[in-house]
Amino acid sequence: MSQHLVIGHGPAGAATARLLADQGESVRIVGRSERVAESGIEYVRLDASEVEALSEAAKDADVIYHCACPPYHLWQRDWPKLATAMHAAAESSGATLVVLSNLYGYGPVDGSMTEDLPLSANTVKGRVRAQVWERTRELHEQGRIRATELRASDFFGPRVTDGGHLASRAIPQLLAGKPVRVLGDPDSPHSWTYLPDVAKALVQAGASEDVLGRAWHVPTVAPRSSRQMLESLATLAGKSGVKVSPIPPAMLRVLGLFVPLMRELREIQYQFDRPFTVDSSAFTEKFGVSATPLEEQLESTLEWWRSRPAA
């Protein structure tokens, strides 16, 4: 049995901790909020940007999974501190470091994104994520840590309730038979990564020596537009005919005056105004692991949302 430390109790961190616990592994998860204890999972409340506290929590870890992510408007302030702390914890413990990231670092590209593309984003959030990986890789190449990064597109699925076209802004509306508004062009091809596939890929990477020193894309199904995904969900939910339309730019600007998240969305709107697709074939070819079939993704997502009282 190995000791696993999961940083961050958001959807990805929690799913990874549960998967490891189900496999009989020893799991410790850290976060800033109070949490109800779960079977097989030790929960430690701490600020993951505090070097000494995180290193203490990681001292007996064999693998560290970094799944924490500050709110968009705090990335410039908080990500450097989080990165410094995770690097220190990995170095002092000798644990393998598996970092969960996204595709922002590439910036706008023509064609499908592959791991060999340069991290040439010129947006604030894109450069922040690129710099975290560049420092992580540098430390790995120096032999100070052993690390890899897994990049996912917008993820959805059971327990994903915040942000994203297929989470809090869409599915409750859809289940109520109400119109859904989305960011950008509803008909632009987009990649969507299923949350359980994120957890499976993180755990696979944590157990594999030969993934280290490079980035990988989480197995993701073929791209579909926001409209296609929402119409498929609506059909499965017996709500066919749901209206899908873009958020008017003027509305986005007004909302941005009062809601930090809406203000930050303007920087990443390019991801929804043009094709934003990922090629995850490298991970699949390496491990023989494919994304969960789309229909299964949609059915389990709807089943979870229907089980919630708010639904």
Residue 311's pLDDT band, with cuts at 50, 70 and 90, is very low
Taking CB atoms within 8 Å and a gap of at least 24, the contacts of 75-84 are 75/124, 75/125, 75/128, 76/124, 76/128, 78/49, 79/128, 79/129, 79/132, 81/49, 82/48, 82/49, 83/132, 83/135, 83/136, 84/49, 84/51
Rounded distance, CA 260 to CA 87, Å? Answer: 29
Residue 36's pLDDT band, with cuts at 50, 70 and 90, is confident
Residue 163's pLDDT band, with cuts at 50, 70 and 90, is low
Name the pairing type of β-strands 3-7 and 26-31: parallel
For tokens 């890899």, the residue is 148
What pLDDT shows up at residue 310?
A: 55
pLDDT digits (tens, 9 = 90+) for 82-96: 999 999 999 999 999
What pLDDT shows up at residue 264?
A: 76
**Of residues 227, 260, 254, the one with CA closest to residue 242:** 227
**Of residues 298, 140, 149, 139, the one with CA closest to residue 234:** 298
pLDDT digits (tens, 9 = 90+) for 181-216: 888 999 999 999 999 999 999 999 999 999 999 999
Residue 220's pLDDT band, with cuts at 50, 70 and 90, is very high
Domain spans of the chain, in order of start: 3-156+191-221+277-292, 164-188+224-275+298-307
Q: Which residues pair with 45 in a beta bridge?
A: 31
pLDDT digits (tens, 9 = 90+) for 225-234: 999 999 999 9
Amino acid, single-letter form, for residue 179: P
Q: Angle 226-236/294-307 helices, nearest 10 degrees? A: 60
Q: Does residue 261 have a pLDDT over 80?
A: no
Contact status, residue 197 vs residue 219, Cβ threshold 8 Å: yes
Q: Does residue 35 have a pLDDT over 90?
A: no
What pLDDT shows up at residue 304?
A: 93
Residue 267's pLDDT band, with cuts at 50, 70 and 90, is confident
What pLDDT shows up at residue 104?
A: 97
What pLDDT shows up at residue 248?
A: 83
pTM: 0.94
What pLDDT shows up at residue 38?
A: 85
What pLDDT shows up at residue 183?
A: 86
- Local structure of 134: helix, strand or coil: helix
| Class at the top of the CATH hierarchy for domain 3-156+191-221+277-292 | alpha beta
Contact status, residue 45 vs residue 104, Cβ threshold 8 Å: no
- Local structure of 75: helix, strand or coil: helix
Residues 26-34 have a mean pLDDT of 93
**Of residues 74, 72, 82, the one with CA closest to residue 31:** 82
Least-confidence region, from 37-41, 162-166, 213-217, 292-296: 162-166
Q: Does residue 46 have a pLDDT over 50?
A: yes
Q: Does residue 130 have a pLDDT over 90?
A: yes
**pLDDT, the chain, mean:** 92
